[in-house]
Structure 1
């Protein structure tokens, strides 16, 4: 939605506590590290005022700021997407389709799904992104665009062939939206789940609810903030995401730029020229 100007963007970040309210000083000691996430935080700034309920005290001072940022929006999003108290519990032997497999979320979901014992198929737009997705552990990587940038649907039947007897995927994670959503519904198995958690190509066309019936498809359009609605849940998900990083289950592909280059990085993000987790540094 359009926001009134002037605007300081940013909904997540990591830094050092410079001051804390009297009621939370024990939780956030001066000089300690902290992560934070929430609507209206305005994190593109040198100094940020954060409500304690949106902040995550970092217990291990050796935790890099990069990993703290990684565990915020992307780490917590991945956490609710792959667990039973969120969108879908990935299980050993599941066949999982992840669109935009070389994006920050795609790379993260691929690693977590593999750690859970799933067989992972991803879709990407370029040869370079295909290599990144393979390096993250994807079993099958398919292109939905040619080298010239033209869209192609050849990947659809290739994806179907990657599933047992061509019967489809247990779960499809779709952050692309308009250009992939119909295919996601087509490729999911009977009683499978389609998790639409983004719309990089635009909002999908409307569908009739009864169209889900022939395969008993479970369709969900989740939003992160509903799954971290209280500070205890937010911190639990953040700590478990940090634990994934510490144990080596996932490794972020960080792309760093100074805050002054934020506009250029946004332009690249909008044109889908980026991969990995984007970080602005001060």
Structure 2
């Protein structure tokens, strides 16, 4: 049986419905993957809600990362074989038992990286890679602030920052999530429910501020994030779980000669050489135990709506995985 979870229109999780369908046939340059595991991310929610434009006018299959086995090869595909374990990250189309994916976006999985781990890290782990190596390339003497430290990207980034000798300060909601962040590389974690994160950053840095803020929260935090930066600091805005951060104006950057960037993973992963190197770096960190992947919850694929509700309700930590 092959099926997919479609969003019938922009809206809440009730718009997600299951529809049986035949497995797609791979076009030239594509591989057909039978999914073993599928990652859930806030970008899926953004598309479902209509915050990001739908790329098609009809029903939309959400999901931007997955792992599984190659079942068929389109014309012209080389370097992959039937039965090979692979993973990928690519916008929309993953909430399905089968997906045809351009081979240029597919990565062969090492034997020691299991399916659930691969599905959990292709988007989140590669996001952490570009944030720390490109958006603001961290140095060992940096102090940085990372919002949503107990989320999927945050837990990976915290461990990666610690391995680089960077002092990472996180924010999270509640003592349990702060404890989890501290256990995953963060030197300090600010409970935004009970503390003013701007005041705490000033206290923790002796009034100097941080070299970079990585902000995936958006509207609720963006102005405070600017206030946390040291002179010449960089604000990396890479998400909007609380709404679009549209309050920022160019003139706000003048207060301390600040920099701001709004990067996207998929602009990075469109470069095959970058994708291969970044995935290799990520798998190496996992292999040597420098990054331990936290899978906070799994749901059957046909319960994707429940997974979305848990994610938007801040009821999860770490990564969420759907199993077909």
Pair in the same fold by TM > 0.5: yes
Aligned-pair CA distance for 1:219: 0.6
* Pairing of 1:4-153 with structure 2 (within 5 A): 4-25=57-78, 27-40=79-92, 42-58=93-109, 60-83=110-133, 86-146=134-194
Tell me if the contact between 2:148 and 2:217 (Cα under 8 Å) persists in the aligned partners.
yes
Matched, 1:210 2:260: no
Q: Once superposed, which parts of structure 1, at least 4 consecutive aligned residues long, lie more than 4 Å away?
A: none
Q: Which residue of 2 aligns with 1:272?
A: 314
Aligned-pair CA distance for 1:22: 4.5
Larger fraction in strand: 2
Tell me if the contact between 1:67 and 1:245 (Cα under 8 Å) persists in the aligned partners.
no
Q: Which residue of 2 aligns with 1:174?
A: 215
Residues 230-263 of structure 1: CA distance to partner in whole angstroms, max 9, x if unpaired? 2232222122111111121211111222112211
In 2, the alpha carbon distance for the partners of 1:260 and 1:271 equals: 19
Q: Which residue of 2 aligns with 1:228?
A: 269
Tell me if the contact between 2:70 and 2:85 (Cα under 8 Å) persists in the aligned partners.
yes
Return 5+ residue gaps in structure 2 as ranges: 1-46
Superposition CA RMSD, Å: 1.6
Structure 1 length normalisation: TM-score?
0.91
In 1, the alpha carbon distance for the partners of 2:89 and 2:241 equals: 21
In 2, the alpha carbon distance for the partners of 1:5 and 1:195 equals: 33
Question: Which shifted more, 68-77 or 86-95?
Answer: 68-77
Question: Which shifted more, 66-75 or 118-127?
Answer: 66-75
Matched, 1:155 2:197: yes
Tell me if the contact between 1:71 and 1:238 (Cα under 8 Å) persists in the aligned partners.
no
In 1, the alpha carbon distance for the partners of 2:69 and 2:112 equals: 13
Structure 2 residue matching 1:28: 3-state secondary structure = coil
In 2, the alpha carbon distance for the partners of 1:57 and 1:125 equals: 36
In 2, the alpha carbon distance for the partners of 1:64 and 1:245 equals: 11
Tell me if the contact between 1:113 and 1:120 (Cα under 8 Å) persists in the aligned partners.
yes
Question: Which shifted more, 232-241 or 211-220?
Answer: 232-241
Aligned-pair CA distance for 1:214: 2.8
- Cα 1:205–1:24 change in 2 (3 A) is closer
Aligned-pair CA distance for 1:162: 0.9
Tell me if the contact between 2:120 and 2:320 (Cα under 8 Å) persists in the aligned partners.
no
Structure 2 residue matching 1:82: 3-state secondary structure = helix
Structure 2 residue matching 1:207: 3-state secondary structure = coil
Return 5+ residue gaps in structure 1 as ranges: 147-152
Structure 2 residue matching 1:56: 3-state secondary structure = strand
Structure 1 residue matching 2:254: 3-state secondary structure = helix
Question: Which shifted more, 270-279 or 185-194?
Answer: 270-279
Structure 2 length normalisation: TM-score?
0.79
